Amino acid sequence: MNVQVNVNLKPFHTFGIDIPCDFLVEAANVDDVIDAYQNPQWKQLPKLILGKGSNVLFTEPFHGVIITNQLLGKKVTESDKLFHLHIAGGEDWPSLVEWTLSQGIYGLENLALIPGCVGSAPIQNIGAYGVEFKDVCEYVEYLDLDTLTITRLNSDQCLFAYRDSVFKQSLLGKVVIVAVGLKLNKAWKANLSYGPLQAEKDILTTPQAIFDLVCDIRRSKLPDPSVTGNAGSFFKNPVITTENFNRLKTAYPELSGYPMTEGGVKIAAGWLIDRCGLKGHQIGGAQVHPQQALVIVNAGEATSKDILDLAWFIRQTVSHKYGVDLEHEVRFFDSEHETNLNNIFTENHV
């Protein structure tokens, strides 16, 4: 277990902001995670498991222990109709998708280039281009931080919803995801339900073709965090009542909506932000990306305060114009625990 003291987290999260933590532990196996939580010197300190840092904003210096998830390993077994994958939580998600294609295992191609590690995928129930993590999940294994034992939940027990799961609700802060099980059909069938894919259905006849197009679309829409610091889509696409959607649709006929099976209508947060004229809007070093309104970028030496101020301004502007309250998809952590925009601004932390 490698331990570093007073570490700058800039290389460990994709916003690339200079912000320190008191201790950083590189966990190569489950025993390293357990050791970090059992260390008597750190007993009273807050602890945070960090994957690739692709969906995180540190709002203050973290006065605790950051544990980087570096658990690696992939195993494939087969049944009559399915490939069953057991993937360690520290594996890189985009690399996993590419690897499955190289192995002739298909079904993850719509989820190409989503940044982050495998252990983060169930937390957010990542999704893109008509597929969500829940659609391919067989189980999730986690380390219970009270009992220090491994527990397995099947997909239904994970309570997956849009960008949500039990790991963001009742199990938040109580577990560390160490592995996931994926099930992928041997009889591959293209999922072209998402509009831009449907429009190209005649040429999307192979998994590789879908993978290539999804990668092209994502690269054209989203800035590369290795070049320009960002955490991808900053806000969730809001789900509003059918009544509210009809009201907005009357006022703004160009608004599109997607009915949700659990009720309500999902609308595009990027469309709302764009129609508020906020593309390119900048506060300090933080900027709404000029080509993709859903992304906030570190345009140069941004501070956490810059990003928070810009996010709050966006939220207030959209709420004032459309009566829709945006919820951030990026997870915020202050000096000790997870927080959110409302807490930060109503408690005058900024």
Residues assigned a catalytic role: 163, 233, 329
Residue 214 near residue 113 (C-beta atoms within 8 A): yes
DSSP code of 161?
Answer: B
* 332, β-bridge pairs: 57, 339
CB neighbours (10 Å) of residue 82? 16
Separation between Cα atoms, residue 238 and residue 234, nearest integer Å: 12
Amino acid letter, residue 303: T
Separation between Cα atoms, residue 235 and residue 191, nearest integer Å: 25
Separation between Cα atoms, residue 192 and residue 240, nearest integer Å: 25
Residue 38: partners with Cβ closer than 8 Å, 6 or more residues away: 148
Separation between Cα atoms, residue 7 and residue 143, nearest integer Å: 25
Residue 338 near residue 332 (C-beta atoms within 8 A): yes
Tell me the pairing of strands 286-288 and 295-298.
Answer: antiparallel
